[in-house]
Amino acid sequence: MIPSDCAVVVVGATGAVGREAISILESRGHRADRIRAVASARSAGSEIPFAGGSLKVGLAGEDSFAGAKLALFCATSGVAKQLVPAASRAGCLVVDNSSAFRADPAVPLVIPEVNGDLVRPGVSVYANPNCSTILMLVALEPLRKRFGVSRIVVSTYQAVSGAGAAAIEELSRQAAEVLAGREVTRNVFKEQCAFNVFSHNSAVDESTGLNGEEQKMISETRRIWSDPGVEVSPMCVRVPVERAHSESICVTLKEPASEAQVRDALAGAPGIELIDERSSNRFPTPLHASGKDAVFVGRLRADPGSPRDAQGRSRNHCLFLAGDQLRKGAALNAVQIGDRFFVK
């Protein structure tokens, strides 16, 4: 675990992920005088509630890291590219939540439950994967370990908070506007997000038809699993949910398995909680997952459109998950990387 007296810098402290990182540190008993909250000039000077008091937000700059041991970057890729080298030179362990270093072969891309062995002394900069990738691979890693995985077909139902605090405000404002019969105003999303579902707002590659979120899920899965041959077919969508992403997954295993074997592989796996109560129709929801650390998994079943062998086993299985993308999909994953580093 990260020592409670470890000096930690949170870059982008006033954003949705930065505030979540600070909340996690607070819940773990970290001292206020050992946390340095920094952000852009627009937010510098503001205060963040912390342990009955507050943290004063400083201006993020190359001098922000002196004397610190850990830097959690919860800002844009531009800020990360500018300031991560300075944090590293100052002797900080750096964990970056942006996309700045995810494709850099010199920077490990880490989900502790999946490839946490990459966290080791001598490596000072780590990248957090995309939130959708994190949630998916936490859920599928136990199946990969036991049966192997050759193909993933995934549809995401992504909360607006994945686009930041301004997107949360937009959803709330638009809902009020619709219910009041007023014209809807759009600032963050091109499409109306209240009472609507639309293709993920990242840019679409006209040659492939993939948007940026979908391409990340493909490339990051192959890198994290060190498996360039695994087939990943994603469809990423925004839904009018404030917080926590959901995903519907059909996975093709390399070895056939029964439903009971799949359930057994997932039960008790690190970072996973099963909610799969058919009799009461109770399964994971983003509302239940919001604010929680676990990835909740349910709707477990063999793919009804696929054949089974003489033992009733199938290579194709379906599941549904919900997970808080601000916690496990971002801030918590970064803190857990720090946990592994300081333990070693």
> Within the chain, where are the H helices?
16-27, 77-89, 112-115, 131-147, 165-179, 212-224, 259-266, 286-289, 332-343
Rounded Cα gap, residues 264 and 4, in angstroms = 36
Q: Output the CA torsion 178→180→181→186 (10° steps).
A: -40
Closest CA to 130 of 242, 216, 236, 231: 216
At a CB cut-off of 8 Å and minimum separation 6, what does 167 contact?
A: 160, 161, 188, 189, 193
Rounded Cα gap, residues 155 and 130, in angstroms = 15
Are the beta carbons of 108 and 129 closer than 8 angstroms? no
Are the beta carbons of 92 and 65 closer than 8 angstroms? yes
DSSP assignment of 263-290 equals HHHHTT-TTEEE--BTTTTB---HHHHT
- Residue entry with tokens 């990387």: 337
Q: Which amino acid appears at position 320 of this protein?
A: F
Q: Which residues are catalytic?
A: 131, 245
Please give the angle made by the CA atoms of 119, 122 and 128, to the nearest 5 degrees: 35
Please give the angle made by the CA atoms of 291, 292 and 296, to the nearest 5 degrees: 130
How much is the CA Rg of the chain, to the nearest whole Å?
21
